[in-house]
Homo-oligomer: A and B are copies of this chain.
């Protein structure tokens, strides 16, 4: 059941999208507290089955919240929204390579390709739950984008798509890890519980302070453990791997802010 924000909270999410429309290129972590943010992946109709199958087989990394067909631009998670303008920073992909990072993709919206857009759950959703439980979200405290890493863990292949799991990392105090697991675990539709708690080397991450996406460094303090969650940037690694001829995505950390409350996806 989708539960929509109201009043002042609704104004916050609308403002977040408005800022993006007006040209802001800022990451969205911490914006519109308590409201669902989503990853965007837009592909030609010819690739939509592959994406659906890849997502079904990798539900922790690619939990699909909505599918918008027929080159549509409005999400039902945000009435009046425009997927071409409401994200601060996009990526345009040609044959698996990024060719541009615009703030508006109207002129890239190739209706001739019969575009299908996927909104995928984002861990920023449960960050609100963590913050409410007084678990510090370090990258927010530092005013930075969350650090994200390509792991050495292969995802399940789906159609023509394959690739490695991408994770986001948050340093958590040892005594709050159980809380962080349980709180995020209540949100399986937005990555849910962590995939890994502790040594980054076992994920194939050589240097915690050299993330593949997002901003470095988000430092660990004494008594903290790095905790890793599956990340909605995972499909971007698959786009590269499969050399998808054309795709539009958000830029990591610059999400689509919906009007829907986190409670919509809380068990």
What class of interface size applies to chain A in its complex with B? 10 to 19
* Copies of this chain in its oligomeric complex: 2
Interface flags for A11-51 (1: CB within 8 Å of B; 0: not) read 00000000000000000000000000000000000001100
Sampled A-B contacts (14; CB under 8 Å): A48-B49, A49-B49, A49-B52, A52-B52, A52-B56, A53-B69, A55-B56, A56-B64, A56-B67, A57-B67, A185-B267, A186-B267, A188-B267, A267-B267
Residue of A48, A49, A57 with highest tally of chain B CB at under 10 A: A49
Chain A at the B interface: SS class: helix
Please give, as numbers and ranges, the residues of chain B lying within 8 Å of A56 by CB-CB distance: 52, 55-56, 64, 67
Closest Cβ–Cβ distance, residue A264 to chain B (whole Å): 13
Q: Which residues of A contact B (CB under 8 A)?
A: 48-49, 52-53, 55-57, 64, 67, 69, 185-186, 188, 192, 267
14 further A-B pairs in the complex, CB-CB below 8 A; given A49-B52, A188-B188: A49-B49, A52-B52, A52-B53, A52-B56, A53-B67, A53-B69, A56-B56, A56-B64, A56-B67, A57-B67, A185-B267, A186-B267, A188-B267, A267-B267
